[in-house]
């Protein structure tokens, strides 16, 4: 895998620190990045998104969703289990995890729900009025400028 040096981006730009950090993380991601738990990210509307994480075996109380530093951080820790059970096969993983999803500017978390072993996190992109496109009216005739006598 190629290694890219983003130092020139830091030197020649102002206010793009987050973008540079995201690119740096994406380019330096380990090939053996964790795949547990599996998740989907879907676009559910023009400005709405949903992160769905398979959390089979975890109760809602075992899960924690937090928004911090422009990211959604999902973590889970299973309460101590009953040792009286004897498993012949244990294929449902309930190990602790932490998964971080970086949010774009103006994206906020609307809520989260835990249904049928899936954790759903709903996101909404809200573009401020100042950043929305606006139409500028063009005057039909220009006002005459009167010349002042000196």
Give 89-123 pLDDT, tens digit per residue.
Answer: 988 878 899 999 989 888 999 999 999 999 999 99
96 near 77, Cβ under 8 Å? yes
pTM: 0.69
Where in the chain is CATH 2.60.40.790?
36-82+89-128
Strands of the sheet with 107-115, listed across from one edge: 39-43, 48-54, 118-125, 107-115
What is the spatial distance between Cα 40 and Cα 50, in angstroms, rounded to a whole number?
8
Other C-beta atoms lying within 10 Å of the C-beta of residue 42: 10
**Fold category of 36-82+89-128 in CATH:** Immunoglobulin-like (2.60.40)
Look at residue 30 in the predicted model and tell me its pLDDT. 58
CA–CA dist 118, 50 (Å, integer): 12
Residue 3: is its pLDDT beyond 90?
A: no
Buried b (16+ CB within 10 A) or exposed e, 119-134: bbbebebeeeeeeeee
Distance CA 11, CA 6 (A): 9
């Amino acid at each position: 895998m190629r290694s890219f040096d983003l130092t020139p981006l830091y030197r020649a730009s102002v206010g793009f620190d987050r973008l540079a950090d995201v690119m740096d993380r994406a380019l330096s991601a380990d090939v053996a990045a964790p795949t547990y738990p599996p998740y989907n990210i879907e676009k559910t509307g023009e400005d709405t998104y949903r992160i769905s994480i398979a959390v089979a075996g975890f109760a809602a109380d075992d899960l924690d969703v937090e928004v911090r530093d422009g990211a959604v951080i999902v973590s889970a820790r299973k309460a101590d289990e009953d040792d009286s059970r004897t498993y012949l096969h244990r294929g449902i993983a309930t190990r602790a995890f932490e998964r971080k999803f970086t949010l774009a500017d103006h994206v906020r978390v609307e809520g989260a729900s835990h249904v049928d072993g899936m954790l759903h996190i709903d996101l909404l992109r809200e573009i401020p009025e100042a950043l929305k496109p606006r139409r500028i009216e063009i005057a039909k005739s220009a006002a005459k400028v009167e010349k002042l006598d000196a």
